[in-house]
Amino acid sequence: MKNQKSIELLHQDYLKTLINKKRWIRFYQLVIFLLFFSSWELASQKDWIDQLIFSSPSKIWNLFIQKMNDGSLAMNVGVTLTETVVGFILGTFLGTLLAAILWWSPLLSDILDPYLVILNAMPKVALGPILIVALGPGFTSIIAMGAIISIIITTIVVYTSFKEVDPNYVTVLKTFGATRVQCFREAILPASFPTIISTLKVNVGLSWVGVIVGEFLVSAKGLGYMIIYGFQVFNFTLVMLSLLLIAVLATIMYQAVDLLEKKLIKNG
């Protein structure tokens, strides 16, 4: 009995030290955050850095409030966010689908191999002008940019993981007379789930690149447009505001995927 109690106490102590440690980490993270913004503000007010180029947190904040009030910010953020999410989902889905087709036909995958390598090595954003001409300067071509940038790499990574699934799982299914579709659904796909999720994380970042570049080129709406516009009229407060918003939104999206991963892996 006594022993039991002392172990319980020790365990509580252990948990306490864990919580303490976490608190300290959070504290230092906050310190870095505050230090960064306050020294930025200070440097800007004391003219240690060029206000025209580097702006200052207070200026950005004022612009943020102003743009919030006239409704233009919400619209631009909405546009960019939709494009990114749709591009991201399309890229991941189509990439996985392509990987499934390659798995289905090993001959096709052997034939297409060099082309995949070429497409993967190709900087996809360079296709931007062609896409805009083909799909029109708007929503569609920007979404296409967000998707195309992640399709090939998703295909390659997911297909590799399909191939690396222990063939004996398929053998087990075959002893039960399973069809190829059943083998894919019961063994290949679920075994590759962790890989697919980890490509999601990479694709979040890639889709942002595709969409922002697309907006640079189309130059009509969105955060990418705000950056280009601010650059052209030399309003760097606008550029900084857009950058900060992109950082926040991309982080939120990444965290959402992370949450999804934790949920799926727990269930799986």
Partner 1 sequence: MDFLTINHIHHTYFTKSSATTALSDITLDVQEGEFISFLGPSGCGKTTLLSIVAGLIKPTEGKVELENRPIGDGDNKIGYMLQQDYLFPWKTIEENITLGLKMNQVLNDKTRSEALSLLHQMGLKGVESKLPRHLSGGMRQRVALVRTLATEPKLLMLDEPFSALDYQTKLKLEDLVSNTLKQFGKTAILVTHDIGEAIAMSDRIFLFSPQPGRLHKTFTIPEELRNLTPFKARNHRRFAELFQMIWKELEQLEEPEKY
Closest contact distance (angstroms) between CB of 185 and partner 1 is 10
| Cα 85–chain centre separation | 9
Give the residue ranges of DSSP H helices in the chain.
2-45, 51-54, 57-69, 72-104, 106-121, 128-135, 139-164, 167-175, 180-183, 189-218, 222-232, 236-267
**Gap between the Cα atoms of 55 and 64, Å rounded:** 13
String of b and e for 13-40 (b: at least 16 CB within 10 Å)?
Answer: eeeeeeeeeeeeeeeeeeeeeeeeeeeb
Nearer to partner 1, 10 or 260 (CB): 260
Closest contact distance (angstroms) between CB of 184 and partner 1 is 13
Number of other residues whose CB lies within 10 A of the CB of residue 77: 20
Nearer to partner 1, 51 or 182 (CB): 182
Nearer to partner 1, 27 or 176 (CB): 176
Nearer to partner 1, 136 or 190 (CB): 190
Q: Comparing C-alpha atoms, which of 92, 96, 95 is closest to residue 184?
A: 96
Nearer to partner 1, 3 or 168 (CB): 168
Nearer to partner 1, 22 or 263 (CB): 263
By the criterion CB under 8 A, which residues form the site for partner 1? Answer: 166, 168-169, 171-178, 182, 186-187, 190-191, 193, 268
Calculate ∠ Cα 143-77-135, nearest 5°: 20
Question: What tokens were used for 266?
Answer: 């727990």
Closest contact distance (angstroms) between CB of 108 and partner 1 is 23
Closest contact distance (angstroms) between CB of 188 and partner 1 is 12
Nearer to partner 1, 220 or 264 (CB): 264
Closest contact distance (angstroms) between CB of 183 and partner 1 is 9
Closest contact distance (angstroms) between CB of 265 and partner 1 is 9
Closest contact distance (angstroms) between CB of 94 and partner 1 is 25
Please give the C-alpha separations between residue 169 and each of 107, 110, 257, in angstroms, as whole numbers: 22, 23, 28
